[in-house]
Amino acid sequence: MRYPIKILEQVQRIDLEIGAVEGEGSVVRSAMKKAQELLEGAKRLHEALGAELEAINVQRSEIQVHLDETNAKVKKATDRIGEVKNDRELKALTREKSQGAKTAKNIEAELRAVQAAFDGKQSEVEVKAVEVEAGEQELERLSGELTAGKEGWDKAVEEKMKLRDELVRDIPESLLKKYEAIKASRGGRAVVHVKNEACQGCFIHVPPQLYVQLMRGEDELISCPHCYRILYVEDQPATV
């Protein structure tokens, strides 16, 4: 019995095509996974920055309250200066007023520093928010790509499988099992042709005796002694 190596080679071609189609899906899926991770990272940072901004905001409010209180004291002292009865009281109120004004000046400087920190943090939050939004859009785009692609990929695989099922009918079970085993261990290519007396799977020369057997097209199954792939020779053009 002649082994249907050429048919097996067609099956292999279909299997490689199916692998490529499935590969497209997994490329999109892994891009989605990466985009998801990036988005989650950006969201976490955005949240952390938001909390830092809120803390600065609380600090700013407290300083503002302190400033308002100090200004109120200064105003009170200023108002009372007009109503003083004696020199001692005037001196005390004047001191209170000038000390209060000095304190207010310091608090204002502190407030400006905190305000600058607030503004800086706020722009960090805004930048991160843009990043989060871009991440969400990218994920949505990939998800759309996956949905759109899936239908086409599924259909392509289905058609190829149909063709494969037909071809496989002509291949003995034992040969198919051998093919599957070699395919699994040799990166998808189990059937290779011999060109210039070399196996096209591992590119090592096949022994002359084996080559002669191959050229004669003998009935037995011939495997490469180096990589164990099933060998065949391309049809020879008829010599004139």
Binding site for Zn ion (CB under 5 A): 199, 201-202, 224, 226-227
Q: Which is nearer to Zn ion, 114 or 206 (CB)?
A: 206
Nearest distance, CB of residue 200 and Zn ion, angstroms:
8
Q: Which is nearer to Zn ion, 132 or 194 (CB)?
A: 194
Q: Which is nearer to Zn ion, 18 or 227 (CB)?
A: 227
Q: Which is nearer to Zn ion, 5 or 56 (CB)?
A: 5
Edge-to-edge, what's the strand order for the sheet holding 191-195? 198-199, 191-195, 230-233
Nearest to 234 by CA among 202, 204, 175, 191: 191
Nearest distance, CB of residue 131 and Zn ion, angstroms:
51
Q: CB neighbours (10 Å) of residue 25? A: 17
Nearest distance, CB of residue 186 and Zn ion, angstroms:
9
Separation between Cα atoms, residue 115 and residue 122, nearest integer Å: 10
Return the structure tokens found at 160: 């190829």
Q: Which is nearer to Zn ion, 66 or 226 (CB)?
A: 226
Amino acid 189 reads R
Separation between Cα atoms, residue 184 and residue 178, nearest integer Å: 10
Q: Quick check: 10 and 167 in contact, CB under 8 A?
A: yes
Nearest distance, CB of residue 224 and Zn ion, angstroms:
3
Nearest distance, CB of residue 179 and Zn ion, angstroms:
15
Q: Which is nearer to Zn ion, 11 or 191 (CB)?
A: 191
Nearest distance, CB of residue 238 and Zn ion, angstroms:
28
Separation between Cα atoms, residue 194 and residue 212, nearest integer Å: 12
Q: Which is nearer to Zn ion, 21 or 175 (CB)?
A: 175
Helix ranges (DSSP H) in the chain: 5-81, 87-168, 173-185, 208-216
Q: CB neighbours (10 Å) of residue 68? A: 12
Nearest to 132 by CA among 49, 55, 69, 189: 49
Nearest distance, CB of residue 134 and Zn ion, angstroms:
49
Return the structure tokens found at 84: 């003083």
Separation between Cα atoms, residue 11 and residue 230, nearest integer Å: 13
